[in-house]
């Protein structure tokens, strides 16, 4: 009992985050071992001591209560990382966009089986790029889709829409070089830099370009959530940022989540650091663009207090606590603090593992992980990436953020950092999953 | 009797819902006959799939063809490479755009005819001779443009988009002269 009390004092029993009461309970009261959770301290302290990451925020919650919540290191030069530091969550925006879509689904405004062209006519009569053998007079041919891209395809990443930056993950036999040429020529971007246009402008151009695969025939991580963001605009008649603000952020009291930060919160934004994972840690410059092969990112966009490109795939800025609230809503099957966003049946649908057919979501993960309607879901325990349970669902963001929800254990794990490149964080995350799961003591 | 009527209506609705749920969905695309396809790089207002009549330049083309009982569909793309693909590989009827947008290969052997001058820019239609119908339809287009120039429709379409009094009599006269020159060339 003495030990329990000590742990909770050390971790700040109650933390006031910008007026939000983020109570931390004694871990043992929710079946977690405070002693074992200290292993997370060791993990993050080591990362920071070895200058692999500048700062981190880690949150572990169980049965709806936060049992571990700790900020370590620095958020910027001369500024310590705080629990309420705001970060670029990048692709962790995707589950939020999926929820936005499912809200309209529950209102009867769309069906997952609806062709996207029903709402965005540019997606009508799409074609698929099929490369022709070397030496052919033309490098490829465009063949009609066997069926149209549906809203479910967008949610499950089975549409055949690519990301420019991930095209290299696929063999060029799939015509990726030609697809890249067309995407670049049409000024499609991955949404990691804010364009001076509205999301619909880009999505309409995208709809007129070929697909990389027949809808439903390949799991390919792509710009699907950006298309969904525009689809939400078309169906709801609201700008995507306003729709999300009014229908998700406000009801869930995610008071520090935005597409565009208000001026008074800019000082809470954590800087992005480049890490060579070998002690070389450098703050990204004020207006520095980050390039890596086809990947282009503009972390400085987050400091801008105006903009009109609301990327459903990567545009949200948030805090670990806000994302905990979002995750808890999903864990609670659609409800948080008496506010119901989605029905139990819809969350069950989103976390079902058969949306991507035979295909695994092995990008980020491994075999044994399927993609639902917005995140990857662990399907078995036979493979390398193990989050502790079949049914765990999770996703990540390009500046090394990640979340995971274990429905069986009612446990949420959140890791926030602002570190590039992304690849280094896999080891940290896999270990954090182990530490979080092995802290269960009931 | 009123009740019976309601019941019958209810049965019909129930039957149609059931058919929708079990049978294939009927979509507009199942009945779309893509004939005389013209491709272009999307140019809002001028030639655009977002405009009900395809924009001012495309509407002139379709008005001309309509006088000859021909129709055309417009498909726009965000990039010239795709337009070139459809011209060379899919042998679509043609493309519209400014002369400088057509590559040397596009122009080679194809039939290039003027459509209109809008906002100090000349717009042309390129009939793709790889398409078996291109020569015939190009001829019909020429006849059609002459017809709509003479009956005032050409002027009316331009005014619809560009506003009344936006065109001087001189503009139309200049285009007619250009058109005559083209006719002589052909």
**What pLDDT does residue B28 have?**
36
Query: pLDDT tier at B102 (50, 70, 90 boundaries)?
Result: confident
Give me the phi and psi of A441, to 5 degrees please: -130, 15
> According to the model, what pLDDT value does residue A15 have?
56
Distance CA B21, CA B15 (A): 10
Q: Do B79 and A209 touch (CB under 8 A)?
A: yes
Q: Which residue has the tokens 């390919």?
A: A220
Residue B12 has what pLDDT?
Answer: 37
| pLDDT for residue B21 is more than 70 | no
Q: Are A346 and A152 in contact (CB under 8 A)?
A: no
Query: Would you state the pLDDT for residue A229?
Result: 98
Measured between CB atoms, does B81 come within 8 Å of chain A? Answer: yes
Per-residue pLDDT, averaged over B100-129, amounts to 88
| Closest CB to B29 among A122, A125, A187 | A125
> Which residues are registered as beta bridge partners of A245?
none
**Tens digits of per-residue pLDDT, B136-182?**
999 999 999 999 999 999 989 988 988 877 766 677 777 777 777 77
Model confidence over A316-328: pLDDT tens digits?
999 999 999 999 9
Taking the CA of residue A238 and the nearest CA in chain B, the distance in Å comes to: 20
Mean pLDDT computed over every residue of chain B? 79
Domain ranges of chain B: 34-185
What integer pLDDT is reported at residue A158 of this predicted model? 95
The answer to whether the beta carbons of residues A369 and A94 sit under 8 Å apart is no
> Which parts of chain A have pLDDT scores under 50?
1-13, 19
DSSP B152: S
Query: How much is the mean pLDDT over chain A?
Result: 92
B78 — contact with chain A (CB < 8 Å)? yes
Match 């078995």 to its residue by tokens.
A380
Q: Is pLDDT at B20 greater than 60 in this prediction?
A: no
CATH fold of the domain at B34-185: D-Maltodextrin-Binding Protein; domain 2 (3.40.190)
Report pLDDT for A239: 97
Q: What pLDDT does B8 receive?
A: 36
- Candidates A185, A189, A198, partner chain B, best to mutate (most B CBs within 10 A): A185
Q: Could A142 and B85 be called an inter-chain contact, meaning their C-beta atoms sit closer than 8 Å?
A: yes
CA torsion through residues B168, B169, B172, B173, sign: negative
So what's the pLDDT on residue A9? 37
Q: Where are the alpha helices (DSSP H) in A86-222?
A: 93-106, 151-156, 176-185, 199-207
For B18-33, b where at least 16 C-beta lie within 10 A, e where not — what string? Answer: eeeeeeeeeeeeeeee
- Count the neighbouring beta carbons within 10 Å of the beta carbon of residue A272: 25
Provide the pLDDT confidence category of residue B5 given band limits of 50, 70 and 90. very low
Closest by CA position to A328, among listed A340, A314, A316: A340
Q: Give B39→chain A minimum CA distance, Å.
A: 12
**Residue with token string 């001012």:** B56
Assembly ipTM: 0.77
Q: Does B77 touch chain A (CB under 8 A)?
A: yes
Supply the pLDDT for residue B94. 96
Structure tokens at A124: 């009508």
């Amino acid at each position: 009992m003495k030990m329990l009390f000590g742990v909770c004092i050390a971790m700040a029993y109650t933390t006031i985050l910008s007026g939000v009461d983020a109570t931390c309970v004694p871990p043992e009261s929710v079946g977690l071992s405070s002693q074992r959770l200290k292993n997370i301290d060791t993990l993050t302290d080591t990362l920071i001591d070895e200058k692999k990451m500048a700062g981190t925020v880690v949150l572990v919650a169980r049965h709806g209560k936060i049992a571990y919540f700790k900020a370590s290191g620095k958020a910027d030069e001369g500024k310590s990382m705080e629990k309420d530091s705001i970060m670029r969550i990048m692709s962790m925006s995707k589950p939020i966009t999926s929820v936005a879509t499912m809200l309209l689904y529950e209102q009867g405004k769309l069906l997952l089986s609806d062709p996207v062209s029903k709402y965005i006519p540019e997606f009508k009569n799409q074609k698929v790029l099929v490369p022709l053998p070397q030496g052919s007079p033309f490098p490829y041919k465009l063949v009609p889709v066997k069926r149209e891209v549906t809203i479910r395809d967008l949610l499950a990443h089975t549409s055949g829409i690519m990301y420019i930056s991930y095209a290299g993950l696929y063999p060029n036999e799939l015509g990726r070089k030609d697809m890249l040429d067309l995407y670049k020529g049409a000024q499609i971007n991955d949404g990691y830099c804010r364009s001076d246009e509205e999301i619909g402008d880009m999505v309409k151009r995208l709809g007129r370009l070929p697909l990389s695969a027949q809808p439903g025939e390949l799991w390919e991580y792509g710009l699907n959530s950006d298309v969904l963001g525009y689809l939400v605009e078309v169906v709801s008649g609201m700008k995507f940022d306003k729709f999300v603000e009014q229908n998700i952020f406000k009801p869930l009291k995610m008071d520090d989540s935005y597409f565009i930060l208000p001026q008074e919160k800019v000082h809470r934004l954590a800087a992005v650091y480049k890490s060579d994972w070998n002690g070389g840690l450098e703050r990204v410059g004020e207006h520095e663009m980050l390039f890596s092969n086809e990947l282009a990112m503009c972390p400085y966009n987050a400091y801008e207090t105006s903009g009109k490109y609301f990327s459903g795939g990567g545009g949200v800025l948030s805090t670990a606590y806000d994302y905990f609230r979002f995750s808890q809503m999903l864990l609670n099957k659609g409800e948080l603090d008496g506010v119901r966003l989605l029905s139990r049946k819809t969350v069950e649908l989103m976390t079902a593992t058969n949306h991507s057919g035979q295909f695994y979501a092995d990008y980020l993960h491994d075999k044994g992980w399927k993609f639902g309607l917005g995140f990857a879901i662990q399907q078995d325990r036979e493979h390398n990436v193990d989050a502790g349970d079949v049914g765990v669902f999770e996703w990540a963001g390009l500046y090394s953020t990640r979340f995971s929800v274990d429905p069986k254990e009612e446990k949420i794990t959140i890791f926030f950092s602002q570190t590039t490149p992304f690849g280094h964080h896999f080891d940290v995350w896999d270990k954090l999953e182990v530490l979080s799961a092995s802290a269960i003591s009931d | 009797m009123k009740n019976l009527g309601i019941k019958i209506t209810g049965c019909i609705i129930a039957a149609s819902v059931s058919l929708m749920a079990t049978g294939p969905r009927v979509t507009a695309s199942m009945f779309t006959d893509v004939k005389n396809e013209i491709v272009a790089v999307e140019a809002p207002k001028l030639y655009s799939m977002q405009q009900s009549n395809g924009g001012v330049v495309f509407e002139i083309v379709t008005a001309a063809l309509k006088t000859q009982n021909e129709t055309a569909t417009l498909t726009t793309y965000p990039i010239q490479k795709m337009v070139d693909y459809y011209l060379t590989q899919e042998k679509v009827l043609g493309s519209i755009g400014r002369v400088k947008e057509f590559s040397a290969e596009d122009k080679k052997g194809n039939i290039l005819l003027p459509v209109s001058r809008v906002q100090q820019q000349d717009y042309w239609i390129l009939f793709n001779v790889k398409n078996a119908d291109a020569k015939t339809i190009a001829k019909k287009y020429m006849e059609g443009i002459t017809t709509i120039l003479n009956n005032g429709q050409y002027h009316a379409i331009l005014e619809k988009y560009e506003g009344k009094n936006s065109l001087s009599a001189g503009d139309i006269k200049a285009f007619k002269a250009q058109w005559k020159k083209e006719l002589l060339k052909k």
